[in-house]
Amino acid sequence: MDRPFSKIICNEKAAKLLRAGHPWVYGEETRLAGDPPENGAIVDVYTEKGRWMGAGFYNAHSKILVRLLSRNTNDRFDEAFWRRRIEYAVAYRRTVMGEAGFRCCRLIFGEADLFPGLTVDRFEDVLVTEVLSLGIEVRKELLYSLLREVLAEAGVPVRCIYERNESPLREKEGMQVGKGCAFGDPGDGHVQIVENGLRYDVDFVNGQKTGFFLDQKYNRAAAARLAKGRSVLDCFTHTGAFGMNCAAGGARQVISVDISEDACVQTRANLALNGLEGNVSVCQADVFDLLTRLAAGERPAGFPSGRHPFDYIILDPPAFTKSRQTAQAAFRGYKEINLKAMKLLPRGGYLATCSCSHFMESWLFEKMLREAASDAGVQLRQIENRQQSPDHPILWGVPETEYLKFYLFQIV
C-alpha cells in the first residue's frame, strides 16, 4: 500500500549521510515529487533510485528541509507512536540516572531521542521545554499531554510545563520567539532541586536556557574529588555549581567569578541554601580581565597573595562559538583563558577546563590546549577526559549531539 505522505527526493550526498545515521536533509540536496506539502507535515524521503530512507518533518522555511523521525516503514505517526517515544525516553533516564538523578535531568534531548528539535528538562515537578522545529511545534499540545500522562504513570506529578522558546533559531524555522506557561501554575518561577547532594534554586522563567545546566552533573562531582585542601578559582560560575561542589569536597578556599550580576545573586542564594556562605566568596568580574590582572601579579581584595594564588582553576565558559564560521575566533578566546590559567597555577596544580560548543570539536579543543601549554611552558598530565552526563545522550552518526568536552589536568 502506498504511504500517504508527500515525497522528497534526495541526492546521493544526502543519502550517504542518511545511511550513516544523520537525520537531516538540506534543501539544496532535494527535489519534490509532486505538490509541496504543508510546512510541519510529515514527508517520505527517497533516493533518486527509489530507495525509501525514512520519514520526517518538512519545513521549507528552514535550511534543514527534512528532519527525520523514523526509518521504520511500519511506523504510523499516531498518538501511540508518540507515547512509545516518550516512554522510551523516560525509561532510559530512570535507568542511566537512577531514581535520585531522575528527579532533575534532561528527559528529551532532541535528535538523540528521535524528537527533532525538542528539549525537555525536568526539575522535580516542573518541566521546561524548548521547541526548535515546526514539526514539533504543531504537535506540542499532544506531546505535552502525553508527557504528563507517562510521568504520572511513573509516579511523577507535573505541576507546570514552561516554554523557553527564545532562541533566534525559531525565527529561521518560521516560528515566533517567546516564553510562557503551557500548562499548570509556574508560581514564582522558581523550583528547588538537589544535585550531588547540594540544593539549588532554579529560576526556570528568567535563568539562562532552561534555568540550570544539567549536563555537567557528574563533571562537577569529578572536579570536587580533586578539591580537598585546595585554593580554587571557579571561573564563569553561573549558578555557583562547580565552586559549591568543591567547597563541599573540602576545598580550603573557593572564589567563584561571573560577569553577570544576576549570576552572582543566584550563586549567593544557592550558597545560603547549603550553608556554604563562609566557604565560597563570590566576585563579579570579567573573567578575561581578571585572569589578565592575576597573571600580571595583581591581587584584588579578598584574593590570596603569592606568585601562585590558586592551586586549582576551573574554566566553564559559555559557548564561544555557535557556528563553524566563528570557530577560529573561539579558538583564540579559549586559548587566552587557558594559557593564563596555566601560567597562574603552580607545578602540581590542577586545571578543569571545558567547552560546551559542538563547533569547537574535540580535536580542535585539544589542539588549543596543546598550544596553550606550550606557550605557558608547562606540560599537562591528563587525569580525565569526560563528556556530558548520559541524560544528554550522544547518538552516533549525529555529531551535533556530542558537544561537551571536559578535561581534568595536573600541571607538571
Burial call 162-171: b when 16+ CB within 10 Å, e when fewer: bbbbebebbe
How is 23-59 classified by DSSP, letter by letter? -EEEGGGEEEESSPPPTT-EEEEEETT--EEEEEEE-
Please tell me whether residue 363 adopts helix, strand or coil conformation.
helix
Cell of 197: 547532594
Characterize the bridge pairing of strands 350-355 and 312-315: parallel
Annotated active-site residue 160? The verdict is no
Rounded to whole angstroms, the Cα distance separating 404 from 389 reads 9
The sign of the dihedral angle between the CA atoms of 322, 343, 352, 387 is: positive
Q: How open is the CA angle 231-232-237, to the nearest 5 degrees?
A: 160
**What is the radius of gyration, based on Cα positions, of the chain?**
23
| CA 250 to mean position of chain CA atoms | 28
Characterize the bridge pairing of strands 126-131 and 160-165: parallel
Taking a C-beta distance cutoff of 8 angstroms, is the pair 342, 378 a contact? Answer: yes
CA-based nearest residue to 221, from 386, 96, 409: 386
Strand partners, 195: 198
CA-based nearest residue to 33, from 8, 5, 16: 8
Catalytic residue among 10, 235, 354, 356: 356
Q: Which residues are catalytic?
A: 356
